[in-house]
Structure 1
Amino acid sequence: MKKFLVASVLYLLLSHQAKTQGCVAIRSTGGFCTRDQAMNHDANKWMLSISNRYFKSFRHFVGTEEQKERLERGTEVINYSYTLDLALTRNLGKGWSMTLDVPIVNNARSSMYEHGGNNAKNARHYTRSFGVGDIRIAAYRWLFEPSKMKNWNIQFGLGLKLPTGDYRYQDFFIKNDSTRLLGYVDQSIQLGDGGTGFTTEINAYYNINSMIGFYGNFYYLFNPREQNGVSTARGGTPSSDAVKYGTTVMSVPDQMMIRAGASLTINKFTFSAGIRDEAQPSKDVIGGSMGFRRPGYIISIEPGVNYQFKNATLYAYGPFAVKRNRVQSNADKLKTAATGVYAKGDAAFADYLINVGCAFKF
């Protein structure tokens, strides 16, 4: 079996603070799981991963139904998101390691409704955010001694997510030629969520032989804080519905990701294909669920390729969406119960995202 077989895809599980593909504000983790990492668990080894992630979201969904009229009328909201994610891992020996994950985020959001209005002339403008996101520190442990388990292993991780990203980022909203309001930017482009949370991870791989393997990743962020106190009125006055159904301020939601797939190694290349499911639940496991959020999930097919050098790996992944679903939020459920009319908001998603990067052992 080749020494540097990458069986479970060298990849940052969800570059911390890089949202999922659109207005459903999922921010991520760091951490990776590869046979190469397991087989080189040396107390004198470090690993630095540098990931670049980009997407453009613009397709609006209510549930699983796309709101195609938004594109036809030119009223769609467009989010451009780029994240440079830096993850430094220290292998401690005996299957233990620790990772420090630092994201640097650059977002831009183009819309009409937040500015002059969807029916106003020349109403499309931008709001932006840039800076360090929420930093995460995590500890990992392989279930079995890596040197003795060459064909398969399972890794468990427990992390602490710190509220280092600015969750009160502001920009100007252009109401007309003479009126500009300074307000908090949309939740989807805030640099952080304002909560101190903890993460759980399970990473695994299984190799049939030196060429064919399987991988799986599970990640969940528990965010006990219910709301962060940041206004959703964009510099204006909250609507009566926002007051009535508790969405005048932003929530601090949980998030989840699941990945699974297969890999094929040929010489120094590892090709992979799998399923990726990213989600923001409508209800948190710990703490309340009031406040504004756009819960939902996106299921993608995720092809990828790695190229292995002696002490470095290059990788590229391009997951593309096959199902997008903006589910009912807590506020939607309250409104449905109060009015007797089924209510569900919308969210914008991307068709695909681009994730390229490299990892170095030293």
Structure 2
Amino acid sequence: MKRYILLSAIIFGILLLSQKSIAQGCVAIRQFSGIGNAVGQLNVQTQGDWNISTNYRYFRSFRHFSGTEEQPQRVEQGTEVINWSHGVDFNISYSFTDRLFGTVSLPFAYNERSSLYEHGRQSRHLSYSGGLADMRIGAGYWLLSGEKATKGNLALGLGFKLPTGNYNAQSTFYNVGPNGTSEIRPVDQSIQLGDGGFGITLESQGIKQFKSALFGYYNAFYLFNPRNTNGTRTSRSRQSEAIMSVPDQYALRAGLFYSIKQIHGLGFSLGGRLEGVPIRDVIGESGGFRRPGYVISVEPGVSYMLGNVTATLNVPVALVRNRTRSLTDIADSTPDNYRHGDAAFADYLINFGLVWRIPKKIPEVFNSL
């Protein structure tokens, strides 16, 4: 029983920590996967272990916020912007040693965006994007191994984000050309498939056993995007926002997981989640157009393990949505004209994942449980 509970919590962690962010509406919090995909058995892995996982994410954003203040009149007047987003990641990881592991993540996305203002403010139309997003590769290292790791462990990771996604995806926009004709233009930043930058990711994650069936987990992530702008035009009126920015991104998640002793393989989780886009990048310039902001969510989840396959469903529900002021908002504000842009956010996300663990051998520590 102890062995089953521990394995259930461990494999649950693989899926929980590999289900990352996806653009939360108009704030372009892009989907990513970090070292959470690469854990052979999360806090106990064995050299030669493989993990193959896939994660699906969906949301619909439509509630507009300026700062933390909602603008309900947008929905009432029918002027809200609506994003529908679907993302799928395919991830493969391998344990080089009992501590060192590597991972490769191949993400795909399909997005639709409905708006009035992007189509001459005369009628509502859709724009689209779909295809390969920005690929990630990385490695991580667990500080503990063997029996010492059975009660808790901590991993550090380094990765790279490659600009494989189209950051100049285009669609048809109506009523915007001469005499009200249509034109082919780049889609909004929030549904671009990539950001056009080579990124560096730093990540840390951990798990701690408090009782026989109760575990704590956390995952912290930061994406450094040194590139300033990517050359994709925005069709916005302000010159400082004419080209899209290549922004940093961050996320923090923590919570508890409980394995049900009476039902082998079943577990529940409850945690908190913070993710966002900063106003300024840590490395390089921060010019161009971006919608900075963050989302704080409560994240319930359920998982079930059958053999070496585990399924997990998490539904983060937004508690706080904040579209912070951009550098352009700050620069263009005067005592008589305070500027603060808005953005549309989702009420919740749906994250569903499957992981197939292919062990080289069962660690000896489990045989003694």
Q: TM-score, normalised by structure 1?
A: 0.92
Q: How far did residue 62 of structure 1 move?
A: 0.2
Aligned to 1:148: 148
Equivalent positions of 1:62-101 (< 5 A) are: 62-101=66-105
Query: Does residue 1:262 correspond to 2:256, yes or no?
Result: yes
Aligned to 2:207: 205
Residues matched between the structures, number: 348
Q: How far did residue 159 of structure 1 move?
A: 0.2
Q: How far did residue 301 of structure 1 move?
A: 0.4
Residue 79 of structure 1 aligns to which amino acid in structure 2? N
Equivalent positions of 1:1-362 (< 5 A) are: 1-2=2-3, 3-6=6-9, 9-11=13-15, 13=17, 19-30=22-33, 31-32=35-36, 37-38=41-42, 41-117=45-121, 120=122, 123-175=123-175, 179-233=181-235, 238-239=236-237, 242-243=238-239, 246-266=240-260, 267-336=264-333, 341-362=337-358
Mapped to 1, the partners of 2:346 and 2:18 lie a distance apart of 16
Residue 319 of structure 2 aligns to which amino acid in structure 1? V
Change over 3 Å in CA distance of 1:353–1:12 after alignment to 2: same
Q: How far did residue 327 of structure 1 move?
A: 0.3
Change over 3 Å in CA distance of 1:93–1:35 after alignment to 2: closer
Q: TM-score, normalised by structure 2?
A: 0.90
Aligned to 2:366: none
After superposition, give the CA deviation of every residue in 1:262-311 in whole Å (9 maximum; x if it has no partner): 11111311200000001100010001111100000000000001111221
Q: How far did residue 200 of structure 1 move?
A: 0.5
Change over 3 Å in CA distance of 1:39–1:59 after alignment to 2: closer
SS in structure 2 opposite 1:302?
strand
Contact 2:214 2:256 in 1 (8 A): yes
Contact 1:228 1:252 in 2 (8 A): yes
Q: How far did residue 40 of structure 1 move?
A: 5.2
Change over 3 Å in CA distance of 1:146–1:67 after alignment to 2: farther
SS in structure 1 opposite 2:211?
coil
Mapped to 2, the partners of 1:274 and 1:306 lie a distance apart of 14
Q: How far did residue 342 of structure 1 move?
A: 2.3
Deviates more, 1:51-60 or 1:19-28: 19-28
Contact 2:38 2:95 in 1 (8 A): no
State the identity as a percent.
Answer: 44
Contact 2:52 2:357 in 1 (8 A): yes
Q: How far did residue 149 of structure 1 move?
A: 1.4
SS in structure 2 opposite 1:70?
helix
Q: How far did residue 357 of structure 1 move?
A: 1.5
Contact 1:35 1:205 in 2 (8 A): no
Change over 3 Å in CA distance of 1:151–1:334 after alignment to 2: same
Contact 1:15 1:103 in 2 (8 A): no
Change over 3 Å in CA distance of 1:158–1:146 after alignment to 2: farther
Q: Which has the higher helix share?
A: 2
Change over 3 Å in CA distance of 1:39–1:214 after alignment to 2: closer
After superposition, give the CA deviation of every residue in 1:168-206 in whole Å (9 maximum; x if it has no partner): 101110117961111100000000000001000000111
Structure 1: tracts of 5 or more residues without a match: none
Residue 204 of structure 1 aligns to which amino acid in structure 2? G
CA root-mean-square deviation: 1.9
SS in structure 2 opposite 1:148?
helix
Contact 1:256 1:279 in 2 (8 A): yes
SS in structure 1 opposite 2:118?
coil
SS in structure 2 opposite 1:6?
helix
Residue 285 of structure 1 aligns to which amino acid in structure 2? V
